[in-house]
């Protein structure tokens, strides 16, 4: 297949492109390198050094003998987006190219507006480009489990059958997102469903849980192929932060009581989910939704897994929660679609032992300790951006 990976310079986009190329697909990547710009803005770098895109592409060609085409541009530019898709003529478009951090979207008005403009308009331009160039192109879009929030009923895979006043209908599962970022993903999902229903497009919306891990079989083949490892309070995941804190001998900082429960997935499973979705496309006119997660844990449980998995002593510190979220809640998610396509999940405990502590220890001299403390408060209209600096 010909597969275009939007956001191909990012934490997940880059290893996904390598995985697809390694499996024999003809791959192109596109990016405007905004994620590297966020590092500059926040004054924080990836724990693991990452190379410029051209160095990455050259390294992959050297180790695999395969080439990946690269486009530079912004999806908010509709003309660029359509011209790129017309030039590459993909069978599938994998869309990672969005601002992905909830805390970033909650810093202040400017960051909230940027997040929604960048994400929603960029996604709309992709939809229009597919409709104009070739409506048969399959869109594989990265959503988030955060679209659902934490409802007091079981979470289905995207759709819900509802009976009301004696009548039954199938509708998109109600959404209760927890940030302006998550809201942008909800808007994306509704826009994609509309395009499938009205234009007959085909799309798979992957509502992804929290991704952990830094290595895939492809990125491990050469240091120049490494992907990001974010640990800061803006872009880092809670698991990455806990791993770094354990390695440094610092207390693991749990927000609130730690009862908040989330779906998780190994980065190796993420790239495989993309392959499975791309190779088994949705039907024309179908808006297909998979909940892309393999396990669920509360934040407190994650802290205990990290503490028990690390060889040294580990303490846990409970902080006032800067987010507005339930401290304890029901969380039962259906996530069978990708397993039925052939996904064989990795488990969290194994990944910690094999990879995360080793990676963190190797690069611990690069850690900015202050970056791990929360500076963005959901309850404030404007927040100081890294006020400690």
- pLDDT by residue (tens digit) across 158-175? 999 999 999 999 999 999
Instruction: Say if residues 158 and 193 touch (Cβ distance below 8 Å).
Output: no
Token pair of 114 as six digits: 């940027």
Q: Which residues contact 345 (CB under 8 A, 6 or more apart)?
A: 265, 266, 269, 294, 295, 339
pTM of the predicted model as reported, rounded to 2 decimal places: 0.96
Nearest C-alpha neighbor of 247 from the set 304, 300, 309, 299: 309
Annotation says 270 is catalytic? no
Catalytic-residue membership of 296:
no
Tell me if 23 sits within 8 A of 275, measured CB to CB. Answer: yes
DSSP string, 108-134: -HHHHHHHHIIIIIHHHHHHHHHHHH-
- Return d(Cα 119, Cα 36) in angstroms, integer: 17
Q: Looking at 16, 81, 144, 216, which residue is catalytic?
A: 144
Q: CA-CA distance, 12 to 84, in Å (whole number)? A: 21
Classify strands 261-266 and 295-298 as parallel, antiparallel or unpaired. antiparallel
pLDDT, tens digit (0-9, with 9 covering 90-100), for 210-266: 999 999 999 999 999 999 999 999 999 999 999 999 999 999 999 999 999 999 999
Dump strand ranges (E) for 299-352: 316-319
Measured between alpha carbons, how far is 43 from 151 in angstroms, rounded to an integer? 36
* Residue 6 and residue 93 in contact, taking contact as beta carbons nearer than 8 Å: yes
d(CA 372, CA 245): 9
Model confidence over 220-236: pLDDT tens digits? 999 999 999 999 999 99
Residue 298 has which token pair?
A: 């509360």
What is the 8-class DSSP label of residue 355? I
Helices (H), the chain: 13-22, 34-42, 53-64, 78-88, 102-105, 109-116, 122-133, 180-199, 238-248, 267-279, 299-309, 337-341, 348-351, 357-362
Q: How confident is the model at residue 349 (pLDDT cuts 50, 70, 90)?
A: confident
Q: Radius of gyration over alpha carbons of the chain, in Å?
A: 20
CB 172 within 8 Å of CB 205: no
Tell me the β-bridge partners of 160: 171
Classify residue 76 by burial, with Cβ atoms within 10 Å: 0-12, 13-18, 19+. Answer: middle
Among 129, 32, 119, 27, smallest CA distance to 85 is for: 129
| Active-site annotation holds for 231 | no
> Is a pLDDT exceeding 60 seen at residue 371?
yes
Check 71, 181, 255, 331 and give the catalytic one: 181
Query: In 3-state terms, what secondary structure has residue 93?
Result: strand
From the CB of residue 222, how many other CB atoms can be counted at a distance below 10 Å? 15
Work out the percent of the chain whose per-residue pLDDT is above 70: 98
Greater pLDDT, 387 or 110: 110
Mean pLDDT to the nearest integer, 145-170 = 97
The catalytically annotated residue of 104, 115, 185, 253 is 185
Three-class DSSP category at 267: helix
Summary mean pLDDT of the chain:
96
Domains and CATH numbers, the chain: 2-372 (3.40.50.720)
Task: Express each pLDDT in 18-60 by its tens digit.
Answer: 999 999 999 999 999 999 999 999 999 999 999 999 999 999 9
């Amino acid at each position: 297949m010909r597969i275009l990976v939007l956001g191909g310079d990012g934490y997940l986009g880059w290893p996904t492109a390598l995985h697809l190329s390694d499996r024999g697909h003809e791959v192109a990547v596109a990016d405007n390198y905004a994620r590297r710009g966020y590092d500059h803005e926040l004054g924080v770098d990836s724990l693991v050094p990452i190379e410029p895109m051209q160095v990455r592409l050259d390294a992959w060609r050297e180790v695999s003998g395969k080439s990946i085409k690269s486009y530079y541009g912004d999806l908010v530019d509709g003309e660029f987006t359509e011209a790129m898709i017309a030039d590459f003529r993909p069978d599938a478009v994998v869309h990672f190219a969005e601002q992905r951090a909830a805390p970033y979207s909650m810093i202040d008005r400017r960051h909230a507006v940027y997040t929604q403009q960048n994400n929603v308009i960029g996604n709309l331009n992709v939809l229009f480009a597919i409709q104009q160039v070739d409506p048969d192109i399959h869109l594989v879009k990265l959503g988030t489990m955060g679209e659902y929030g934490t409802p007091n009923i079981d979470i289905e895979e995207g759709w819900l059958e509802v009976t009301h006043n004696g009548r039954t209908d199938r509708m998109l599962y109600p959404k209760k997102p927890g940030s302006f970022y998550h809201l942008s993903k909800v808007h994306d999902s509704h826009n994609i469903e509309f395009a499938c229903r009205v234009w007959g497009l085909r799309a798979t919306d992957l509502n992804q849980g929290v991704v952990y891990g830094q290595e895939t079989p492809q990125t491990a083949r050469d240091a120049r192929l490494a992907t990001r490892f974010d640990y800061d309070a803006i872009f880092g995941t809670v698991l990455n932060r806990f791993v770094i804190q354990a390695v440094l001998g610092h207390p693991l900082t749990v927000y609130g009581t730690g009862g908040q429960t989330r779906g998780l997935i190994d980065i190796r499973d993420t790239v495989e989910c993309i392959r499975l979705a791309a190779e088994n496309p949705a039907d024309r006119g179908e808006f297909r939704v998979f909940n892309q997660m393999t396990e669920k844990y509360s934040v407190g449980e994650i802290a205990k897994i990290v503490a028990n998995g690390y060889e040294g002593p580990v303490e846990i510190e409970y902080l006032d929660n800067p987010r507005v979220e339930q401290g304890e809640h029901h969380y039962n998610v259906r996530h069978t679609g990708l397993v039925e396509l052939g996904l064989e999940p990795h488990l969290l405990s194994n990944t910690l032992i094999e990879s995360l502590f080793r990676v963190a220890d190797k690069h611990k001299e690069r850690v900015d300790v202050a970056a791990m403390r929360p500076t963005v408060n959901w309850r404030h209209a404007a927040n100081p951006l890294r006020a400690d600096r």
